Chains A and B, each alone.
Chain A
Amino acid sequence: MTGAPPPTLPPGRGRRLSRPLLGAAALAAALAALACSGGAGGEAAGPSPTTAARRAPAAERAAQGGDATVAVAGAGAYAQPVPGLDPEQRRFFAVGNNFFNDNWVTAPASTTARDGLGPLFNAQSCSSCHFRDGRAQPPDGPDDPERGLLVRLGVPAADGSVDPHPTYGEQLQDRSVDGVPAEGSIVITTTERPGTYADGTPYTLREPHYEVLDADGRPLGDDVVISPRVAPAMFGMGLLEGVPAGAVVAAADPHDADGDGISGRAPMVVDRETGQPVLGRFGWKAAEPTVADQGASAFRADIGITSPLRPEQPCTAAQAACRAGPHGGDPEIEGERLGRVTFYTRTLAVPARRDVGARPTDRGEDVFTDAGCAACHTATLETGPADIEALDRQVIRPWTDLLLHDMGPGLADGRPEGDASGTEWRTPPLWGLGLLETVNGHTRLLHDGRARSVEEAILWHGGEARAARVRFAALPAADRRAVLAFLASL
């Protein structure tokens, strides 16, 4: 940086939509241009004209969360606040972080703000699964204390849909407070599935099989429909929430009118307050429309904490002990505090990309696009106006279209939820993917963490993504490596 002119301040706000280069990213690009002009390397590093025309400037691509990007690449990469919070907002963030991290305890306790755990629950805190605001992994065996996977339940209904399980409800809670029986447990077995790339290189996928046992260790029954899920990473949700619904819906192609084999559907769910249809955005099947809804549902189903948005305890009519179990007030987390957790979740920043502009990653980005991956893992979205500056009208690169796609029988859970069928999943964002191992110490991917690496996750793609997977598998090894290098840079 020696000799470079001091960065100038970004121009005033309010012109964002007409100005694709944003804030920090624009500055960085300007600086890079300045530093190279006239120098020995002035002509260097230019990608070929065709790809150059397609790729945005490196600084823009690095700032994948727009102004809500932070350049932290360590274990705390998913846990940073967006830049520019004022002292009050910083306090809200701290309070939300606290209620996200700290354990809930059995009621009654002296810490009345933090009691009400269960009576049935999967975890005592949000952070026990979303460790460091990151992504969970499934347990490796019955003795593995890893608890980042839970199972949604259902039984087939007469009309072909799925009803909640009559005894256990919509989710298996495998833990409970003293005096209330837990619901049961999950047994996971796996089968190795060998395959080969077009060039003959072998690979192996690991297919999981799930069995749900009741509290006495008996199988729950063949008719039970289960959907295993791991806890996804938390950052960037405020940005995804801010993408106007109209833009998401406009990108949908439910009947594949363009004939590209990809028929993204906009997930429409019912707003619990108004009864009106709204866009579903969060959860593996996009059943929750807002960050607040997602948080309230997880508090209730996963920790047994009721809130103004989800006032009912996680007990069915058949679970008398649960219904009579200890409750921590009504609701157990009040609206203002749930609001702090929502604020915290909305303002978790997106980590900056690394190695943007390097040959392997840029080449990988092109191959990724050419293979058709970017048809669903869309390169850019724009957010609308927001009350938090860093989220306001940003060009972002989450690598998702926020739509539902049929991912084929290999990944299907057979359990419809919200607007999604038993074979559909919402395209998960890919930003931050390359930091997963640094933050969470693993590389387990997909809805149930079955993929042990990014490569395996790609190879599991089926349904609408089958053609892209086949193209990936047909690539020369160097191009496959480039795609993985690109994904590791996110």
Chain B
Amino acid sequence: MKTSVARLLAAGLALSLLGVACSDDDPAAEGDEATTTTAAGGSGSSAGDEAATPLDPERATAAATTYADLVFTAYDDTVTAATELQEAVDTFVAAPDEAGLDAAKQAWLDARDVYGPTEVFRFYDGPIDDPEDGPEGQINAWPMDEAYVDYVEDDPDAGIINDAEGTPEITAEGIVEANEAGGETNISTGWHAIEFLLWGQDLSDDGPGARPVTDYTDSPVAERRGAYLSALAELLVADLTSVRDEWDPEGGAYREDFLADPDQAVTNILRGMGALSAGELGGERILVAYDTQDQEDEHSCFSDNTTADVVGNARGILVAYTADWPGVEGTSLSEVVAEVAPELDTALRTSLDETVAAAEALEPPFDQLLTDDSGREAVRTLGEDLQAQGDVIADLAARLGYEISLDI
């Protein structure tokens, strides 16, 4: 590892130098822009000694178009699943009972399976996580500030739900406003806030949270809790819809920008794959939980759904590359890469298949894996393999002449 990194850096700096050291020295050329090159410098990339093999622009456009179709279709399916969740929530809130709560929980779990793969569409400041107005933080913030929303173990009166005086009426707009009042978003909305209101705090060692249905029937704030839950579901659908529409083949604004520059598009695709693999999934979600060994330091900690989240994310990295999604047709990035660098395509396909299989082989729940010796080994191995897979993606990008980094 170390030597290859040094070689890459050396090659990159040498390139920079070659651009200038051999150029004409014209004293009159005040303000000349130097012709320098910056090498691909992903953490641990090692393709520096291979000459870049650029994609044919038409083939890059083909792969980018298929990817854009994939993004739209996957978000559209997510909107459908989230709408089913919203309907289940509204049905439950209108007439709360055990069956309705279970149905809403199942709808949440089902929708998470569809959403998981779409996380690979992040990390390049697209519609989902544009630093100006991307709703990612509002959709999927973690950890969530439970006590900001509802009662917690040691504080029965905590949260907006129990504060009728401070927040007389609970609406989606009001939640967004309150969420942003502190100047930072991300604390009281999205998937995990809904999860918290359905499952409640996970206080047991061997099961998910067990929020009683009486929270929605016999509690003095039962109606407020129901209103909060409904508002969250409404907000989730609205946010996902806004992201989907940016990718609409019929006039989606971001899609048009994305396809206008096929090289940047392919760079973004690979950046999303690499950053999710090495940074977000391998690092943040797996190795951090492994390292901290906190039973609840896992993403879907109320429902114990984290293992399924991991599978969804791992599949997303594969799907971004193969475009293998129901209803999506066209040339995948994998096919285009295979035309110019078949050995790198094979290496990445193999790695993607293996990491998805390893994720699927994890025995849920994730929090139990973290405290069990063989489970820990499997978790650590998967995390390290996903980080190594990030290097493979960065290498592939470098071979195509693109620079991606794996930071998140």
Residues of A within 8 A of B (CB): 1-2, 4, 6-7, 9-10, 23-25, 27-29, 31-32, 35-36, 39-42, 44-46, 58-59, 62-63, 67, 69-76, 79-81, 83-87, 90-95, 97-98, 101-103, 105-114, 117, 123-125, 128, 145, 147, 175, 178, 326, 337, 340, 352, 354-361, 389, 441, 478, 481, 485
Contacts and interface: CB of A to CB of B under 8 A. Distances in A.
B147 A178 contact: yes
Contacts of A128: 184
B17 A27 contact: no
Nearest to A348: B407
B362 interface: no
B292 A35 contact: no
A9 B182 contact: no
Given A27-B6, A44-B24, A94-B387, 10 more contacts: A1-B11, A9-B6, A10-B6, A23-B6, A27-B10, A45-B21, A59-B14, A94-B284, A106-B147, A175-B183
B155 interface: yes
Given A111-B294, A111-B297, A340-B291, A84 B14 contact: no
Contacts of A24: 6-7, 9-10, 13
A106 B148 contact: yes
Interface of B: 1-3, 5-18, 20-27, 29-34, 36, 38-44, 49, 51, 125, 131, 141-148, 152-155, 158, 180, 182-184, 186-187, 201-202, 209, 279, 282-284, 287-288, 290-292, 294, 296-297, 301-302, 383-384, 387, 403, 405, 407-408
10 contacts: A23-B6, A71-B13, A71-B38, A87-B387, A94-B279, A94-B282, A106-B147, A178-B148, A356-B36, A360-B30
Nearest to B159: A178
**B interface: dominant SS:** loop
B31 A107 contact: no
Contacts of A108: 147, 152-155
A359 B187 contact: no
B73 to A, nearest CB: 28
A409 B13 CA distance: 42
Query: 4 tightest CB-CB pairs across the interface, nearest first?
Result: A358-B34, A94-B283, A41-B22, A28-B13
A27 B14 contact: yes
Central interface residue in A36, A92, A109, by most chain B CB within 10 Å: A109
**A interface: dominant SS:** loop
Contacts of B290: 91
Contacts of A83: 2, 5-6, 9, 43-44
A354 B34 CA distance: 9
Contact of A36 (B21, B25, B40, B51): B21
Nearest to B267: A74
A95 B39 CA distance: 27
A259 B279 CA distance: 52
A413 to B, nearest CB: 24
Nearest to A357: B20
A41 B19 CA distance: 11
A28 B5 CA distance: 13
Contacts of B155: 108, 326
A428 B361 CA distance: 50
B14 A4 contact: yes
A428 B148 CA distance: 39
Contacts of A9: 3, 6-7
A45 B6 contact: no
A70 B5 CA distance: 9
A356 B347 CA distance: 36
Given A71-B38, A95-B292, A357 B201 contact: no
A58 B294 contact: no
B13 A147 contact: no
B12 A113 contact: no
Nearest to B13: A28
Contacts of A85: 43-44
A352 B13 contact: yes
A111 to B, nearest CB: 4
A92 B279 CA distance: 12
Contacts of A337: 292
Contacts of A59: 13-14, 16-17
A471 B24 CA distance: 31
A149 to B, nearest CB: 12
B187 A105 contact: yes
Contacts of B30: 359-360, 478
A124 B183 CA distance: 10
A105 B287 contact: no
Contacts of A485: 31
Contacts of A10: 3, 6
A73 B294 contact: no
Contact of A360 (B32, B145, B287): B32
A247 to B, nearest CB: 26
Nearest to A47: B25
Contacts of A147: 183-184
Contacts of B12: 28, 71, 352
B43 A80 contact: yes
A71 B41 contact: yes
Contacts of A359: 25-27, 29-30, 32, 34
Contacts of A352: 9, 12-13, 16, 38, 41
Contact of A110 (B180, B301, B384): B301
A366 to B, nearest CB: 14
B301 to A, nearest CB: 5
Given A28-B17, A360-B32, A74 B405 contact: yes
B147 A95 contact: no
A354 B36 contact: yes
Nearest to A175: B182
Given A110-B201, A357-B21, A70 B9 contact: yes
A87 B286 CA distance: 14
A481 B31 contact: yes
Contacts of A35: 14, 18, 21-22
Contact of B186 (A4, A6, A103, A123): A103
A337 B302 CA distance: 23
B280 to A, nearest CB: 10
B283 A98 contact: yes
Contacts of A73: 38
Contact of B21 (A58, A69, A75): A58
A74 B268 CA distance: 13
Given A39-B22, A45-B23, A110-B202, A98 B6 contact: no
A351 to B, nearest CB: 9
B36 A98 contact: no
Contacts of B51: 1-2
B1 A91 contact: no
B31 to A, nearest CB: 6
A475 to B, nearest CB: 14
Contacts of A94: 279, 282-284, 287-288, 291, 387
